Every structure is written in C-alpha cells, then in structure tokens.
Amino acid sequence: MRVRGRRPGAGAGAVLLVGAVCAGLPAAPVQAAPPGGPDGGRRAAEREKPCTAGTGPYQRQVEAFLKRLPDGRQSTEDCVAIRRFQRAHQLERQDGYAGLETYRQVQIEQTGGKPNADGACPERSYKVVCVDQKRQLLWVQTGSRTDFGPVPMRTGRYGQETRPGMHRVVRRVRDDRSQIYDNAPMPYAQYFDRGQAIHGRHDSLYDGGGSAGCVNLKLKDARELWERLRLGDHVYVWGRKPGT
C-alpha cells in the first residue's frame, strides 16, 4: 500500500490520499480530524448552529441536574448544555428544549443505577418487572440486583389508568394488534392483566397524555424486555402517573 503524505506546510485540514487495500478499489480521500479532537469538533458545530430553543416545562429541573443556575429561564448557555446532554443520550429531540423526554432521561440518570433505592418495588428471589408510574420508569430486578433498565415508559391516561398491583405475564404475542383501538400495532406485547400489556410503540412516548392502559416502551426496549421475560414472570405496578 502506498500513502501520499501531506505537502510540506499543509494545514491540519489537508486531505490525505490513501491507497486502496483491496484490489480493484480506487484510492479515496480521507479528511483529517478537526483541530482539537472530538470536543473541538463538537464545539465548532455548536458555534455554527446557534441554540435558540425557548424555556421548556422542565427547565428548572434540568438546569439543576446539569449544575446550571436553576432559575427556570432559558439562556443561550443553558440551551447549549441541554442540547449537549440530549445528544449524549441520543434523545429524539436535540435542540436544547427542556421537554418531557429530556426530563425523563434526567430522572433515569438520577437513579444512579439504583432505581429501587426506596424499596417501593418488592425484592424477591425471582424476577420482577417494576412499573413506577410516578416517575414513569420501568426496570427488571431480581432481589436487589437490577437486571434491565431503568427505561422510560408511558402508562394509562386519566380515566384509563394502568391497574396497580402484583400481576403475572399470562400471554405473549410478538406482533400483536389492538382489537379495540383501530388495529393499532402492539409489538412485543406481554399481557399481565386482562387487556393490559407491556408493549413497544413505533411513535414517540411523549406525544400525548398517556396510553389507553397499556405500558408503552420504546421499540428497542420492548424488544429487549421480550427476550428477558417468560410466561408467569411477575409485573408489579404502583404509584400514580402525573396528571391522573
């Protein structure tokens, strides 16, 4: 393999031509990394695109978590800090707005990997799916060990609340559809109380007041939970969803 180096005096942004490794492939230009490494590139991108999102409904809580002045008013510096947090966690919205999705991620981070620190979800020798309606978080634990999550979820809206108590998974359907609500898709459905199930949602968890009683998860989280659970596994639901 032959490499043509930079011309003397070429800057950090110069293009290097690297010979093909596989026979028959032409050489391709490779752009040198931006000055200052990844952080330098990130800061440059942020300078190129001003952060202009307004004050969000969870502004004060997010500011406090990010160790910004928790005054509940968006500033350019607040916006940039929130946007950086959103990007780091690959959230749907990455514009610096302190909305529900961002606040939910803050709540996950605040657990410090110990979502059951208050002991609200029963610790048993067997697997328990913990459905915390107050924080809208779900995780799986065996005893005091967290096996999965916490991950964000969405439970039932006012008048269609998810029923509390200790339940068991009684039916599993990988590609189910609702027989009540317009044939709506219910991927990775795991039923625990009559028609109420934990299942994935193709759309956002944050685009409405709540579900019709099921426990909605992001599709990737529902898929992983499907792989972890079996018929007869326990599901414990407690607390009240905000707004119900």
pLDDT in tens, 208-228: 789 999 999 999 999 999 999
Closest CA to 235 of 139, 146, 143, 114: 139
Give residue 39's pLDDT. Answer: 65
Give residue 24's pLDDT. Answer: 39
| Rounded CA separation 162/79 (Å) | 35
| Rounded CA separation 25/196 (Å) | 55
Give residue 35's pLDDT. Answer: 55
Give residue 2's pLDDT. Answer: 44
Domains belonging to the chain, first-starting first, are 48-110 (1.10.101), 127-238 (2.40.440.10)
* Beta-strand pair 15-18/28-31: antiparallel
| Rounded CA separation 88/80 (Å) | 12
Give residue 181's pLDDT. Answer: 81
Residue 29 β-bridge partners:
17
Residues 146 and 112 sit within 8 Å (Cβ to Cβ): no
Give residue 40's pLDDT. Answer: 63
List 51, 199, 202, 234, catalytic entry? 199
Active site residue 121: no
Listed as ranges, residues in the chain with pLDDT below 50 are 1-30
| Rounded CA separation 194/212 (Å) | 13
List 51, 167, 214, 234, catalytic entry? 214
Give residue 208's pLDDT. Answer: 78
| Rounded CA separation 116/123 (Å) | 9
Active site residue 214: yes
Q: Give every CB contact of residue 1 below 8 A, 6+ residues apart in sequence.
A: 18, 19, 20, 21
H-run or E-run covering 78: helix 76-88
Cα angle 89, 92, 98 (rounded to 5 degrees) comes to: 80
